Structure 1
Amino acid sequence: MSGVSLATGHRSDLAHTTTTTAPDMKSDQKSWPDQQRHQSAAAQAAGGGVMGSLRIIELQLVAFIMVFSASGLVPLLDILYPAFTTAYLIGLAQFAFPSHHKRLGADSNAASQEIFHGSRMFRFYVILGTTVGLFLPLAYVLGGFARGDEHAVRSATPHLFLLSCQILTENVISGLSLFSPPVRALVPLLYTVRRIFVIIDWINDVWINKALPANADIRDVIWFWFGRGLAVGNFAYFSINLFCFLIPRFLPRAFERYFMARDEVHSKMEEDKRSAAMNKAEKQDKKSN
């Protein structure tokens, strides 16, 4: 949600693990080719497990998106926003920030997948955002269905819809080399900006348009303040996420990686030109002799 699938480099971490542990296995009785085959198989198995998990998550998110879209609880503007964002990202990937993976090769591209390497505190921050932004609002919506509180369901559903679209988009483009780091970093940025306005509407609904009955029991009071606190908590978290992480740290890091890769491509092209010119000069010298 804060660029989690883009900020953590699962593929590069896996490659780094397999390459750094290989020299430590020299004392094993297996030959080096056997060790390489064994590590390759282990890497494929681990990668298959990760990709399998992502497939399950993506299918669940697609189910959420379809249910939310068909329920009539999501405004038309929020339904159209993911389509506009996807088209805009594809346009950026084609014309503004094309990927350099073809010229850099597979190894360099794998290394460039990781935009931001987070610490343990950052991972705790991500888990907190997942809880506040996804799990608790989902529980709030399901509880609203169970309690017959249509107002609560209608208030929180647009946020969940956009968040599901964001996570699905992040999971999909993180595995496609077509999208460069700046384009991938813009996914959480664009969705977070829109969701902040949606959360403001959510706060307006639960704080202004909804009142607690005078004869409410303790469970209704707890539910009422849970909805208010959840809306404010989401607004606080994603505002901090936008202005303190995505804009000042995540987006500049993505552009830094992108321009470093572009400079590497340019240097390789210059080297290729020089080597081609030297080879041509050598051939002319040989013909003249």
Structure 2
Amino acid sequence: MSGATLASGPRSSQLGTTPGEGELRKRSEENSASGLGGIMGSLRVIELQLVAFIVVFSASGLVPLIDLAFPVILSIYAFALSAMVFPSYGSKGVPDVFRGNRFFQFYVILGTIIGLFLPLAYVLGGFARGDQHAVRAATPHLFLLSFQVLSENVISGLSIFSLPVRALLPILYTTRRIFTLCDWTVDTFSKTHVQAHSSNQPDHPFDPRFPDYAWMLFGRALAVANTVYFIINLFCFLIPMFLPRAFETYAEQRATYMAEHPKKHAAEPHVTEQEKKAEQSQKLPQPVPYDRHRGEKKAQ
């Protein structure tokens, strides 16, 4: 969701694994093979639920047009990057980039609860209460997050996407969602939102205005918590930690592939450099040799 589905797992290039862990990793790599089988294998129950959420949100008319077009444009951009800038070098499965400890697992679980489950409960509660204002404010974030989780799980089973593309995908999605979260936060503190709920603070919990007031505070706290969490996730984890390690692992994969295929990828650049040197030597003017006797005659 926050890039953790692509980042979790020990780094195989530096840290060893036990035999049991190696067997489990081997089975997971076999299950996440590329092609149609990898796509169908990744579409588990939660992915099918995310597809259902995406269809419902798209058909409800609550998602702005720019947010509807963003996943399509980003998918085309990801394919273009994979084809022209960051080609894949035959790596299968999810590469090991970031070693997750217990704190990291807690961080991922907290993000799932704050970013997905609670906003989904907030939207469903808004439908039950007839609060279209709250539903319209929170739906764009849920739509983009559902598309992000689905995209991360699908491309993890496709070998055509290299690791830099897989790392850039959650960064771009999170950057866009931060804008929607800021709009959601501003909306929960607006006068229109306050007037739609309880404009006066209740005196006690048994006051008839208390449920509306508590619902308004819950929406504010949820919007602020999501905004803070994903800003920290973007600027403290994805960009400074996950992205450099992804490029480092990709460089190692590229160096290994070049070493295994020296004739195909190393001979052609060498010939090209020789041709460039020959062309440059032909274009440069040749120096005239100095004749000492001719210089002495001119001096006399």
- TM-score, normalised to structure 2's length? 0.74
Residue 63 of structure 1 corresponds to: 52
What is the aligned counterpart of 2:107 among 125, 136, 152?
Answer: 125
Evaluate the alpha carbon distance shift between residue 182 and residue 55 of structure 1 in structure 2; reply closer, same or farther with a 3 A threshold: same
**Matching of residue 160 in structure 1 with residue 113 in structure 2:** no
Evaluate the alpha carbon distance shift between residue 127 and residue 77 of structure 1 in structure 2; reply closer, same or farther with a 3 A threshold: same
Separation in structure 1 between the aligned mates of residue 41 and residue 118 of structure 2, nearest angstrom? 25
The structure where helix makes up a greater share of residues is 1
User: After TM superposition, what 4+ stretches of structure 1 lie above 6 angstroms from structure 2?
Assistant: 271-274
Higher-Rg member (1/2)? 2
* CA shift for structure 1 position 53: 7.2
Separation in structure 2 between the aligned mates of residue 225 and residue 250 of structure 1, nearest angstrom? 34
Evaluate the alpha carbon distance shift between residue 52 and residue 111 of structure 1 in structure 2; reply closer, same or farther with a 3 A threshold: closer
Look up the SS of the partner of 2:96 in the other structure: coil
Separation in structure 1 between the aligned mates of residue 42 and residue 193 of structure 2, nearest angstrom? 39
Evaluate the alpha carbon distance shift between residue 184 and residue 273 of structure 1 in structure 2; reply closer, same or farther with a 3 A threshold: closer
Superimposed CA distance per residue, residues 106-136 of structure 1 (whole angstroms, 9 cap, x where no aligned partner): xxx3486222221110010000000000000
User: Is 1:170–1:184's contact at 8 Å kept on the other side of the alignment?
Assistant: yes
Which residue identity lines up with residue 196 of structure 1 in the other structure? I
Evaluate the alpha carbon distance shift between residue 230 and residue 96 of structure 1 in structure 2; reply closer, same or farther with a 3 A threshold: same
* CA shift for structure 1 position 194: 0.2
Look up the SS of the partner of 2:193 in the other structure: coil
Separation in structure 1 between the aligned mates of residue 20 and residue 264 of structure 2, nearest angstrom? 34
**Matching of residue 181 in structure 1 with residue 163 in structure 2:** yes
User: Is 2:92–2:159's contact at 8 Å kept on the other side of the alignment?
Assistant: no
* CA shift for structure 1 position 47: 4.4
Separation in structure 2 between the aligned mates of residue 197 and residue 54 of structure 1, nearest angstrom? 29
* CA shift for structure 1 position 8: 2.5
Separation in structure 2 between the aligned mates of residue 110 and residue 76 of structure 1, nearest angstrom? 35
**Matching of residue 75 in structure 1 with residue 64 in structure 2:** yes
Superimposed CA distance per residue, residues 115-161 of structure 1 (whole angstroms, 9 cap, x where no aligned partner): 22211100100000000000000000000011111111011000000
Which residue identity lines up with residue 20 of structure 1 in the other structure? P
Residue 283 of structure 1 corresponds to: none
* CA shift for structure 1 position 174: 0.6
Q: Any gaps of 5 or more consecutive residues in structure 1?
A: 24-38, 102-108, 275-289
Residue 134 of structure 1 corresponds to: 116
* CA shift for structure 1 position 68: 0.1
Separation in structure 2 between the aligned mates of residue 22 and residue 188 of structure 1, nearest angstrom? 27
Superimposed CA distance per residue, residues 30-87 of structure 1 (whole angstroms, 9 cap, x where no aligned partner): xxxxxxxxx79x948x949x98674212111111000000000000000000000000
What is the aligned counterpart of 2:172 among 178, 190, 195?
Answer: 190
* CA shift for structure 1 position 265: 1.6
**Matching of residue 20 in structure 1 with residue 12 in structure 2:** no
Separation in structure 1 between the aligned mates of residue 93 and residue 154 of structure 2, nearest angstrom? 18
- TM-score, normalised to structure 1's length? 0.77
Q: Give me the identity figure in percent.
A: 57
What is the aligned counterpart of 2:79 among 83, 90, 108?
Answer: 90
Evaluate the alpha carbon distance shift between residue 272 and residue 205 of structure 1 in structure 2; reply closer, same or farther with a 3 A threshold: closer
User: Is 2:164–2:246's contact at 8 Å kept on the other side of the alignment?
Assistant: yes
Separation in structure 1 between the aligned mates of residue 21 and residue 121 of structure 2, nearest angstrom? 45
User: Is 1:189–1:242's contact at 8 Å kept on the other side of the alignment?
Assistant: yes
**Matching of residue 201 in structure 1 with residue 200 in structure 2:** no
User: What is the aligned-residue RMSD (CA, Å)?
Assistant: 2.9
User: Is 1:115–1:181's contact at 8 Å kept on the other side of the alignment?
Assistant: no
Separation in structure 2 between the aligned mates of residue 119 and residue 110 of structure 1, nearest angstrom? 24
Separation in structure 2 between the aligned mates of residue 95 and residue 164 of structure 1, nearest angstrom? 28
What is the aligned counterpart of 2:199 among 210, 213, 223?
Answer: 213
Evaluate the alpha carbon distance shift between residue 71 and residue 273 of structure 1 in structure 2; reply closer, same or farther with a 3 A threshold: closer
Moved more, 189-198 or 262-271: 262-271
